[in-house]
Amino acid sequence: MEMNISFPGGKKVNSTYKGFTVDTDQRKKGGGDESAPEPFDLFLASIGTCAGVYVVYFCDKRGIDTTGLKMTLHFEKNRKTHLVETVRIHISLPPTFPEKYKSAVVKAVELCTVKRNIIDPPEFTVHAEIQS
């Protein structure tokens, strides 16, 4: 698999993967134009949307209507390292959600691939070469 990263100018850095381009930018305070989310914002969004997809799969498989279903992610950062230390996912189930599936939908969210990659991270390598 390959993802291409491009540098369209300023503090913008974009990725292209599977035919989709994701734009990022930095805050004005960081020298950007605030024209797109910051890369770290997309990292956080990937946790929430991945967890959400597992909720959707869970509900679809059981014929459960997702109307009124909501999720909220709460992040707590370490003041010294500025890294996220805690992620709390709150699933707000609508009144029509079957009580018998409450703990099962939580287990479904635990299967989120983004979360599992954080818990068991990949090896990172970086290589640079000067183009000829």
10-residue mean pLDDT series, the chain (132 residues): 97 98 97 97 97 98 97 97 96 97 98 96 97 92
* pLDDT reported for residue 92: 98
Instruction: With CA atoms as reference, report the closest residue to 52 among 117, 118, 93, 112.
Output: 112
Token reading at 127: 């290589």
pTM: 0.90
Q: How far apart (Å, rounded) are the C-alpha atoms in residues 46 and 33? A: 22
* pLDDT reported for residue 125: 97
Continuous segment of H or E residues that includes residue 103 = helix 102-109
Count CA atoms within 13 Å of residue 42 on its CB side: 13
* pLDDT reported for residue 124: 96
CATH code 3.30.300.20 for 51-122: yes
Q: Which residues contact 57 (CB under 8 A, 6 or more apart)?
A: 108
Instruction: Tell how far CA 109 is from the center of its chain.
Output: 13
Domain ranges of the chain: 1-37, 51-122
Do residues 23 and 12 lie in contact, with contact meaning Cβ atoms separated by under 8 Å? yes
The 3-state DSSP class for residue 74 equals strand
